[in-house]
Amino acid sequence: MTWVSPEDEVAMRLAAARLKASHPEADAAIVDTLVVGAYDELRDAKVRTFVPFLTERRARPRLELPSPDARPAPES
C-alpha cells in the first residue's frame, strides 16, 4: 500500500468498522485486507472526495461472496 493521508486512514478505519458491524461473522483481518485492497485500487483517483465511500462500496460485495470453505463439495 502506498502512503495514506491521515484523513483517508481514519475513513478506512471507519469503513472497516462499519463492515465488521454489518458482518460480525467475518474475520476482522479479512475485512481490513479487503478495505486496504479497495483503497489501493482507488489510490490514483484525481478527485479524492468520494474515495472513502467508494472504498467501502468496493469492499462490501467482496465480503459478501461465499468463502471457499462455505461452498458445497462437488458431487462425484
Q: Is residue 56 assigned to a domain?
A: yes
Q: Is residue 3 assigned to a domain?
A: no
Choose between 9 and 2: higher pLDDT.
9
Confidence of residue 70 (pLDDT cuts 50, 70, 90): low
Residue 70: other Cβ atoms inside 10 A: 7
Q: Which parts of 1-76 fold into alpha helices (H)?
A: 6-22, 28-41, 51-64
Q: Is residue 74 assigned to a domain?
A: no
Q: Is residue 47 assigned to a domain?
A: yes
Domain span at 33: 24-65
Total domains present in the chain: 1
Write out pLDDT tens, residues 11-37. 999 999 999 999 999 999 999 999 999
Q: Is residue 52 assigned to a domain?
A: yes
Q: Is residue 12 assigned to a domain?
A: no
Q: Is residue 36 assigned to a domain?
A: yes
Q: Is residue 59 assigned to a domain?
A: yes
HSE of 21, CA atoms in CB hemisphere, 13 A: 7
Cell numbers of 76, please? 462425484
Can you give the pLDDT at residue 5?
A: 84
pLDDT mean across residues, the chain = 86
